[in-house]
Amino acid sequence: MRRLLLFLSVLLTLAGPVSCRAAVHAEADCNPLQALLFQDAVPSLRLVAPDAGRVHFVKSGVARPGCPSAAPACRERGFVLPGDAVIVVGTGSGYACAIFASPAPRAATTSGWLPEAALATPAVVSDATPLATPDWRGDWRSGAERRIRIDATPQGGIALAGEATFGAGDPDRVRRGAVNTGDFDATATPLGDQLAFLVGDDGKALPFDAARAKAESLCGLRLWRLGPSLVATDNLQCGGMNVTFTGVYRRIGQPR
């Protein structure tokens, strides 16, 4: 198991401009969490409008020519309901590239294109309002194989401990001892609702750089606190093959 020890005594700055609504091409595939790591996209929280009814995700033009559109052939099975909080990474042509996470402990996610007209602006709920010092603390889960625990430190920062696996739900892989794992420990001070870092070969943290995260074998993570969710994305270098911390996490229980 790979153990990453990070000690940050200064604020880490994010690469790229801060823009809550990046322009995207709705005809392309929507991969919101990948866009968060390698592009200039910055996530924002939106709520499904109270009068929207059941809102289905829709296919991209890559999946079906002529999509996204309101045509029945473009409709996906996944849907959201009024009041659901979705995380948007970009908009274009009347659609939003978004991801929705169900409540913990399952915290299953659905992502794709949603009609932007069905999303309220801005998000108006107490837990959806961005805060200068959001509460990061808690036991956060994303699906069955990703967990990040966060506690406050006496110095005013946060201590993160992440554990992830690939194949733990496959009895055959478990029997063969073929479950891949990854983990990290980090002590850091977020910039408001954002945190990002790379891990150097010596185990120390470096400022996040998208080019290095793509080209080198350094573990790179970006995290955001948005409403009821913790959003994380990495570069697939934080553990064994196919292990990732990328996901939308929901908190189990109250922070300590």
The ranges assigned to domains in the chain are 5-15+129-252, 22-126
234-255 residue pLDDT tens = 988 889 999 999 889 999 866 5
How far the first Cα of the chain sits from its last, in Å, is: 27
Q: Which residue has the tokens 């080019």?
A: 211
| Distance between CA atoms of residues 98 and 88, nearest Å | 4
| Three-state DSSP class for residue 212 | helix
pTM, 2 dp:
0.78
Cis check for the bond before 228: say yes or no (omega within 30 of 0).
Answer: no
Chain position carrying tokens 């750089």 = 209
Q: How far apart are CA 38 and CA 32, in angstroms?
A: 10
Q: What is the pLDDT of residue 8?
A: 37
Per DSSP, 252 falls in state E
Cα angle: 35, vertex 194, 167; to 5 degrees:
55
The whole-number pLDDT of residue 5 equals: 38
Which pLDDT score is estimated for 126? 41
SS3 32: helix
User: What residue ranges of the chain have pLDDT lower than 50?
Assistant: 1-21, 123-132
Predicted local confidence at residue 23, as pLDDT:
54
What's residue 228's pLDDT?
Answer: 87
* Predicted pLDDT at 113: 94
